[in-house]
Amino acid sequence: TFIRTAHRNTEYVIQVLGNKSVTAYSSSEAAQFRDWLIKQGMSMRTVKRVFASVRAVVNLTITEHGLDCINGFAKTYFPADEDINDRLAIPKEDITKVQALCVEMDDDIRWLIALISDTGMRLGGAAGLHMDDIKLDEPIPYIDLKPHPWRSLKTKGSQRLIPLVGASLWAAERIKTNPHQTFAFPRYNTTSSTNANSASAAINKWLKPRVPEGYVIHSFRHSLRDRLRAVQCPSDIIDQIGGWSTAGVGQAYGEGYGLDSKWEWLQRINLNSGF
């Protein structure tokens, strides 16, 4: 994974700035490279990870070869609020429009978008699903979101059961038609890793002309929270649906809400969705 990531990030540099001696890359070119990464739909966290990798490669080269130069990628400026786009919640009318386009196009990338739109899953969690994580032959269809060798989860609370309703249920049913027996999204997975960055770049590029400025795939997650608030869903149920940390010691006790309770609230935000 480390080697593949290093190769991919250096290929980005070559694609944007050309294949030159490390002594030839300037700080202004590094800024140009930063802007290109952002335009690909990467979050600022991802851009910083790419820069950290490239910076380390250049530093090692300078040290090993005794070069008398500075690292052009060493002091690049990054906007202070790295999550500004991620925090935006997509308006309901735009969610409906995107979901309709997903049904119309009906391919695996659109299935992934639709799956996230009514579940609030993080992109990495959804992209790394095993086919067996999708439970359709149950009274309440649901996602069994859990860690796998190829994809961990962000927090302990991220592991949860998520009822499937609306566009997400449609997407899950379409995914199950795929003959692949292991991964829900084979193009983004190997037995050792899930390439969420690739999924993010492709999805955000497609979303950009179809949603208002500044909205990205992660915005669906924040939209779900707002949509649940709008139907007066209790905050602790919202937290369990989305896998958000819940404040208070008492919340750590007991087994939490069942699928039926979570399904009921998710159904309320999808009453007029057309699914």
Q: Are 227 and 273 in contact (CB under 8 A)?
A: no
Task: Give the pLDDT band (50/70/90) at residue 223.
Answer: very high
- Look at residue 117 in the predicted model and tell me its pLDDT: 97
Task: Give the pLDDT band (50/70/90) at residue 155.
Answer: confident
Q: Kindly state the tokens that stand for 17.
A: 């700035």
Environment class of 83 (CB within 10 Å of its CB; exposed 0-12, middle 13-18, buried 19+):
exposed
3-state secondary structure of 239: helix
3-state secondary structure of 130: strand
Q: Which of 7-21, 31-45, 249-263 has the highest mean pLDDT?
A: 7-21
One-letter identity of residue 170 = W
Q: Kindly state the tokens that stand for 169.
A: 């249920």
Residue 148 phi/psi, 5-degree rounding, is -135, 165
Give CA–CA dist 106/112, Å, rounded.
10
- Look at residue 111 in the predicted model and tell me its pLDDT: 98
Tens of pLDDT along 89-103? Answer: 899 999 999 999 999
The dihedral of CA 43, 224, 167, 190: what is its sign?
positive
Q: What is the enclosing helix (H) or strand (E) of 166?
A: helix 166-175
Task: Give the pLDDT band (50/70/90) at residue 245.
Answer: low
- Look at residue 272 in the predicted model and tell me its pLDDT: 72
Give CA–CA dist 37/12, Å, rounded.
9
Give CA–CA dist 52/58, Å, rounded.
10
- Look at residue 177 in the predicted model and tell me its pLDDT: 94
Q: What is the mean pLDDT of residues 212-229?
A: 92
Q: Report CA-CA distances (Å) from 65 to 20, 22, 58, 60, 251.
A: 15, 11, 11, 8, 56
Task: Give the pLDDT band (50/70/90) at residue 38.
Answer: confident
Give CA–CA dist 36/76, Å, rounded.
13
Q: What is the enclosing helix (H) or strand (E) of 98?
A: helix 92-105
- Look at residue 252 in the predicted model and tell me its pLDDT: 44
Tens of pLDDT along 164-196? Answer: 999 999 999 999 998 888 999 999 999 999 999
Give CA–CA dist 199/171, Å, rounded.
16
- Look at residue 179 in the predicted model and tell me its pLDDT: 84
- Look at residue 2 in the predicted model and tell me its pLDDT: 81
- pLDDT, the chain, mean: 89
Q: Kindly state the tokens that stand for 59.
A: 């530093």
For residue 17, the tally of other CB atoms under 10 A from its CB is: 17
pLDDT higher than threshold 70 for residue 250: no
Q: Which of 99-113, 203-217, 237-251 has the highest mean pLDDT?
A: 99-113
For residue 208, the tally of other CB atoms under 10 A from its CB is: 15
